Structure 1
Amino acid sequence: MQGYNVLMIYNKEMDKLLMCERLKDPYKGLSNLVGGKIENGEPGIEAAYRELLEETNISNKDITLHHVMDFAYHIQNCYVEVYAGRLNRDVAVTGDENILYWSDLDRNFFDMSLYAGEGNIGHMIEQVELVKERLFSDKDSLV
C-alpha cells in the first residue's frame, strides 16, 4: 500500500494555514495542503519532515509536527498520514513544486471547486480545531 502525507502548517499566531496552488494533476489549479510520498521503509514522521523541508524550506528546528489522523483508501491501495504543526518562529517559505501561500482560516475549505481532497481539508481543519489547545500549547507539545 503506497503511503502519502499531508501537512497542516499553521503560522506562529495560529491564524493562517500554509496552502499551495497545485501546478500539476491531480487537482491542478486547486488549493491543497503540502505533502508527498512516504518512501518504502521510511517512518511516516521522517517522511513528513523531509517533504516539509523539500516543499517549503521549513525545517524541524522551525516546527514540531504532530500525527493527528490517517485516511486509508483500500480500493486505491493507499493511505494518507496527516500531520499538524505550528511554526515556532517566522519562516520565509519557498518552494518550486507548487505556488505556496498563507490562507486565512475563515475560508470554506469544503468547497471542492477551490480545494483539493473532496472536502478532506475542511474535515481535517475542523478536527484540529477541536484539539488545538492541547496540541499547540506554549511549548508546542501534547499535554
Structure 2
Amino acid sequence: MQGYNVLMIYNKDMDRLLMCKRLKNPYKGLSNLVGGKIDIGEAGLEAAYRELFEETNISKENITLHHLMDFKYYVQRCYVEVYVGKLKCDVVVSGDENDLYWSDLNQDFFDMTLFAGEGNIGHMIEQVKMSKYFLTDEILAQQ
C-alpha cells in the first residue's frame, strides 16, 4: 500500500494557508495542499519534513508539524497522512513542482471546481478550526 502525505502549512498568524496550483495530473489546474510520497521504510513525519523542504524550501527549524489525521483508501491501495503546522516566523517559500501561493481562509474549500481532493481540504480545515488551540505558541512551548 503506497503512502502519501498532505501538509497544511499555516502562516504564523494562522490566517493564511500555503496552497499550490497543480501543474500536472491528477488535479491539474486545481489548488491543492503541498505533500508527496512516503518512501518505503521512511517514517511518516520524516517524509513530511522532507517533502515540505523539497516543495517549499521551508525547513524543520521554521515549523513544528503535528500529525492530524489519516485517510485510508482500500480500493486505490493507498493511504494519506495529514500533517499541520504553523510557521514560527515569516518564510519566503519557493519551489518548482507547482505554483505556490498563500490563500486566505475565506474560501469554499469544498468547491471541487477550484480545489483538489473531493472536499477533503475543506474537511481538514474544519478539523484544524476545531483543534486550533493545539497550534498556539503556548501549547507548542509545552511540548
User: Which category describes the TM-score, using the shorter chain as reference length?
Assistant: over 0.9
TM-score between both structures, scaled by the size of structure 1: 0.97
- Correspondence list, 1:1-143, <5 A: 1-133=1-133, 135-139=134-138, 141=140
The number of equivalent residue pairs is 142
C-alpha change, 1:54 and 1:124, in structure 2 (3 Å) is same
Task: Report the alpha carbon displacement of residue 62 of structure 1 after superposing the two structures with TM.
Answer: 0.3
Gaps of 5+ in 2: none
C-alpha change, 1:140 and 1:58, in structure 2 (3 Å) is farther
1: CA distance, partners of 2:139 / 2:54: 23
Give the root-mean-square deviation of aligned CA atoms.
1.1
TM-score between both structures, scaled by the size of structure 2: 0.97
Gaps of 5+ in 1: none
Deviations 1:73-115 (A, max 9, x none): 0000000000000000000000000000000001000000000
Deviations 1:34-85 (A, max 9, x none): 0000000100000000000000000000000000000000000000000000
2: CA distance, partners of 1:26 / 1:69: 22
Compare the two structures and name the one with the higher helix fraction.
2
1: CA distance, partners of 2:136 / 2:75: 38
Q: Structure 1 vs Structure 2: percent identity of aligned residues? A: 71
- The answer to whether the 8 A contact 1:8-1:17 is kept is yes
Give the letter aligned to residue 136 of structure 1.
L
- The answer to whether the 8 A contact 1:21-1:30 is kept is yes
Q: Indicate the SS of the match to 1:61.
A: helix
Task: Report the alpha carbon displacement of residue 139 of structure 1 after superposing the two structures with TM.
Answer: 4.3
Give the letter aligned to residue 118 of structure 1.
E
